[in-house]
Structure 1
Amino acid sequence: MSVKSSGQFSSRIGFIMAAAGSAVGVGNIWGFPTQAASHGGGAFLLVYVLLIIVLGYPMLMAELMVGRHGQSNPADAMGKLGSTSKSRNIGKAIGFISIVTATLICTFYSILSGWFISFAAAPIAEVMGQPTIANWMTDFSVSRNLVFTVIFMALVVFVIRQGVQKGIERWSKRLMPFLLLMLIAGAIYILTQAGAMEGVKALLIPDFSRVTDPDVLVGALGQTFFSLSVGTGAMMVYGAYLNQQENIGKLTAYVTLTDTTVAFLAALMVIPAMYVAQHNGVQIFADDGSLLNSDTLVFTVLPALFDSIGGISQYVLAMVFFTLMAIAGLTSAISIVEVPTSYIVEKTTINRNKASLLVSAVITILASVIVFNFDALFGLIITLTTERAQPLIALGIAIFMGWVWHRDGLLSAIAQQDGVDENSFFWRVWPTYVKFICPLLISVIIVQLFFG
């Protein structure tokens, strides 16, 4: 059974919104500002933008190209690149690992996004005169984590069960513009507050001495792959839902630009908000200059900022901001859950409805295990998936794209695209770039990551 049985994107804008929705998520609005604030602000931004250009864009394009060529789940799509039984099996293994990685990513993602829903609902409870419920929604507890993880996964299943056009595409086209408008409005509001300009300077003026800092490089690489969903198989699945004539280069550019813009807007809102909070008396830095609560930045600094504003505005701002976060989490989780769902639909006789329920049940159970062993497992799963597995999977994809996929097959796939001259400079250079430069760059950073 082909992944096409699930349908295709009906329009170019539908794909761009869905793929951008996959890329634009918690990694942008929670992860990027947190990483930037923890790793020198402007220095991190500079390294991140550079890595997006030299690694993120070409690797995202490679995943989409592999997915469209394979017209199937990541395991089979990677397997189809091989010309021998051994190479096909290795390709399938890489693709299957990406499916497992996507499933594991969704475990901590569902917990995190559940927090966003609870923090968005808390102001409503407060306004309705239910402070006990509001406190439960914002206090860290096993019960709160479990309840809102289940709620979030239910929302994901609601969309996934409807298929590509009626589910993924329709909801992405609705949610993404709303997310962008809310983000722009939030950034504009924060920038009008006293103290915000200090945050803008911290974000935009790099400390060049930190640009070569291994922690900055590793953090930026992980953020690049996590943000663009590279190495999770999500873009391979979305690539399979594209027709053969779509210009992958242009589509990837639109998605990458949207993703990077959202990450920057999020940082332009969150980091200045930190300094606004500091101006209002909230402590954000420790005595040694390090950032307090870096892992839970948006759950500590921003609520404190909203509280310092007072009045009804604090509740409106809190609800709007965390609703924004929840939408970002939903658009990304949809694509991640689609990865194992598409695999099950293709490989078994289980229909999409049952497959999405099965996948969500497995993710919810695994997430529950993490909730009950939070200190030991939450950070560990994040590290194993986003900082270890995703770069290694990306390395495997680059090697297969450049060295295993027969060049005639690759050139044929390139030539089929509308408006593409396969003899142009870009399309002559890109296969060679993915073959040599991407594996080299990824390998250098992986060595630093594992042995530095």
Structure 2
Amino acid sequence: MAQVRDGFQSRLGFVLAAAGAAVGLGNIWGFPTQAANHGGGAFLLVYFIVIFLLALPALYTELYLGYKAQANPVKALGQAWQDHAPKVGAAAGYIGLAGAIVMLSFYSIVAGWMLSYAIEPITTFLGMQSLSEFLHSDSMLRNFIFTPLMLILTASIILKGVKSGIETWSRRLMPLLLVLLVGLIIYIATLDGASEGFAAYLVPDFSKILDPDLIIAAMGQAFFSLSLGVGCMMIYGSYLKPGANLPKLTASVALLDTSVAFLAGLLIIPAIYVAQFNGVEVFSNGKLIGEGQLIFAILPELFGTMGEIGLLVGLLFFVLMSIASVTSTISSTEIPVAFLVENHSVDRTKATWAVSAIVFVCASTIIVNFDWLFGLVIMVFTQYQLPLMGLFYFITVGWLWQRGNKLNKASSGPHFWFAQYIRFVCPVLMTLVFANVAFG
């Protein structure tokens, strides 16, 4: 029996959900790290330019594919390639599907760390020292406890569908995320050393703006922070009602996502300088020491220098990180769930638990082989799949998709020039991003 397709009920609900899919550890962890290592204000300025030149067209392209097809990525790309090689389009959809599973596998582990670190200040306050040490540990047992907890939390939202699950919880979580972010910025701003961090972040060194490494890093960060290339935006675009103002919605999502990234930098970079002021070793040769350890080493050490208020700040910070994790995991989970529901008529409840079980098996494999597999999986996903899929979307919309593609039928006006931009400029920019991240 055919299933009735769910969808977003309001423009605000869609914008919050899509921005939530984009807002994640890439914004609150990755963006400030990139900014700190690439000239602070100079990186920020170039990042804003690149968002407009590359990320906005990429976001529009992915949303447009899903919106026109009103289907999951496998169906949407198969339809877009129907005049040439539908199996090629569908195969790309399957690659995106596999990518969503892979992303969830390592993302759920990291999200579990965030949840663990969020609980730790409470156990410290209650004097439960051994439990506190366990929550801070890198043990396999901790991973096997908190990874499935994050998967269950995500599944509980997905089970309720788009309107009652994804949209409802995005309306709750995104405003809370913004409130926590702004509140923490205000507090950090009162601490010694913060002013130096604000200056480093907000005042650009114009001599660095044309640095090729900085430009390519900003391009890669802009693309990855919007969660493009795996199908998250395509599936959310497919849930929009007919007649939606897609350009306006695209701009709204990009603006909210970019605002969160900007605010994250406004929190993290001053916090780094506060930590440095308090004697924490942060930089070596102008680069952050242990970039991946920023969240789990430098900042907790900073919170530890604050006394009891540090427990509250640490709690709020990692609650913030946990919310950012969940808003991203629900969008990635929806991709394979929608595929099972639409292509194989599987009940949503069964599909959700089946996907969660598959992700847990994959995550368990990574946990057991963590030392060599975790970094490898992230490298393959971020350095190869995401930019190549983004390039594939540009080529699909710009060159191969004919039936139903109103963008390419325009012969004059803004739509015509936008189509030419997607056809000729965006693939070149995306190729540069891929060449940089893949080959350095």
Alignment TM-score, normalising by the size of structure 1: 0.93
- Tell me which residue corresponds to 1:403: 399
> CA 1:266 to 1:176, structure 2 compared with 1: closer, same or farther past 3 Å?
same
Q: Distance in 1 between matches of 2:24 and 2:358?
A: 22
Kept in 1: contact 2:407–2:419 (CA 8 A): no
| CA spacing shift, 1:301–1:139, aligned 2, 3 Å | same
In the alignment, what sits opposite 2:275?
A: 277
Deviation track 1:268-294 (CA, whole Å, cap 9, x = no partner) reads 1011001001111111123x3331121
From 329, 332, 339, give the equivalent of 2:328. 332
Q: How many angstroms apart in 2 are the aligned matches of 1:231 and 1:103? A: 13
Q: Which residue of 2 aligns with 1:265?
A: 263
1:419 corresponds in structure 2 to none
1:293-341 deviation per Cα after TM superposition (whole angstroms, max 9, x unaligned): 2112011111111111102x11111111100100010011100111111
1:68 corresponds to which letter in structure 2? Answer: Y
Matches within 5 A, 1:204-223: 204-213=202-211, 215-223=213-221
Counterpart amino acid of residue 78 in structure 1: L
Deviation of the 1:409 alpha carbon: 2.6
Alpha-carbon distance in 2 for matches of 1:6, 1:222: 34
CA distance in 2, matches of 1:380, 1:38: 23
Contact 2:220 2:437 in 1 (8 A): no
Look up the equivalent residue of 2:387 and give its one-letter code: P
Give percent identity, aligned residues only. Answer: 45
Shift in Å, 1:210: 4.4
SS of 1:409's equivalent in the other structure is coil
Check conservation: 1:153, 1:360, Cα contact below 8 A: yes
User: Partner of 1:439 in structure 2?
Assistant: 427
Change (3 A) 1:50 1:69: same
1:119 maps to 117
Q: CA deviation at 1:38?
A: 2.7
Give the C-alpha shift of residue 18 in structure 1: 0.6
Tell me how far apart the structure 1 counterparts of residues 213 and 133 of structure 2 sit (CA, whole Å): 36
Amino acid at match of 2:226: L
Deviation at 1:424, TM superposition (A): 8.4
After superposition, the C-alpha distances for 1:321-367 in whole angstroms (9 at most, x for unaligned) are 10010001001110011111111112223211111111111111111
Give the AA of the match of 1:439.
P
Rate the CA distance shift 1:98–1:200 in 2: closer, same or farther, 3 A.
Answer: same
Q: For residues 192-226 of structure 1, give each alpha carbon's deviation from its aligned partner in whole angstroms, at most 9, with x where no partner exists.
A: 21101111122223344544555434433332222
What is the match of residue 182 of structure 1? 180
Please tell me the residue identity of whatever aligns with 2:264: A
Point out the more displaced range, 20-29 or 347-356: 347-356
CA distance in 2, matches of 1:55, 1:36: 18
Cα 1:209–1:373 shift into 2, 3 Å: farther
Question: SS of the counterpart of 1:245?
Answer: coil
Is 1:302 matched with 2:299?
yes
Q: C-alpha distance in 2, partners of 1:26/1:412?
A: 33
Partner of 2:193: 195
User: Are residues 423 and 402 of structure 1, via their aligned partners in 2, closer, same or farther at CA, if it must alter by over 3 Å?
Assistant: closer
CA contact (8 A) 1:87 1:404 kept: no
Please state how far the C-alpha of 1:148 moved relative to its aligned partner.
Answer: 0.9
165-174 vs 144-153, which moves further: 144-153
* Superposed displacement of residue 425, structure 1: 4.3
Paired residues, number? 440
Question: Could you tell me which of 358, 361, 365 is aligned with 2:354?
Answer: 358
**1:109-148 equivalence runs, <5 A:** 109-148=107-146
- Could you tell me which of 87, 96, 99 is aligned with 1:98? 96
Aligned to 2:387: 391
**Structure 1, unaligned stretches of length 5 or more?**
415-421
On the 8 A contact 1:33/1:266 being kept in 2, the answer is yes
Show CA shifts across 1:42-64 (max 9, x none).
Answer: 23323322221111111101111
Q: How many Å separate the matches in 2 of 1:189 and 1:290?
A: 25
CA change 1:361–1:217 in 2 (3 A) is farther
What 5-or-longer segments of structure 2 have no aligned partner? none
Q: How many angstroms apart in 2 are the aligned matches of 1:87 and 1:213? A: 41
Summarize the Cα distance change of 1:372–1:221 in structure 2 as closer, same or farther, 3 Å threshold.
Answer: farther
Q: Is the 8 A contact 1:222 1:386 kept in 2?
A: no
Would the alpha carbon gap of residues 30 and 316 (structure 1) be closer, same or farther in structure 2, given more than 3 Å must change?
A: same
**Following TM superposition, by how much is the alpha carbon of 1:403 offset from its aligned partner in structure 2, in angstroms?**
0.5
Structure 2: distance between partners of 1:44 and 1:384: 25
2:377 & 2:206 partners in 1: Cα distance?
32
Q: Is contact 2:37-2:286 (8 Å) kept?
A: no
- Against the structure 1 CA distance between its residues 389 and 74, is the aligned structure 2 distance closer, same or farther, given a 3 Å change threshold? same
Deviations 1:67-125 (CA, angstroms, capped at 9, x unpaired): 011111101101111243x4222211222211111211111111111111001100111
Is 1:320 paired with 2:316?
yes
Structure 2 distance, partners of 1:19, 1:343, is: 19
- Partners of 2:439 and 2:275 in 1: CA distance: 38
What amino acid is aligned across from residue 254 of structure 2 in structure 1? Answer: T
C-alpha RMSD of the superposition: 2.0
Question: What is the identity, as a one-letter code, of the residue corresponding to 1:36?
Answer: A
Q: Which residue of 2 aligns with 1:418?
A: none
Q: Is the 8 A contact 2:63 2:234 kept in 1?
A: yes
- Match in the other structure for 1:293: 290
- Range with greater deviation from structure 2 (179-188 or 95-104): 95-104
Report if aligned partners of 1:303, 1:318 keep a CA contact under 8 Å in 2. yes
Per-residue Cα deviation, 1:197-256 (whole angstroms, up to 9, x for no partner): 111122223344544555434433332222111101011111110112000000010000
Contact 1:284 1:292 in 2 (8 A): yes
Distance 1:388 1:207 in 2: 31
Moved more, 201-210 or 104-113: 201-210
- Higher mean displacement: 393-402 or 219-228: 219-228
Q: Which amino acid aligns with 2:417?
A: V
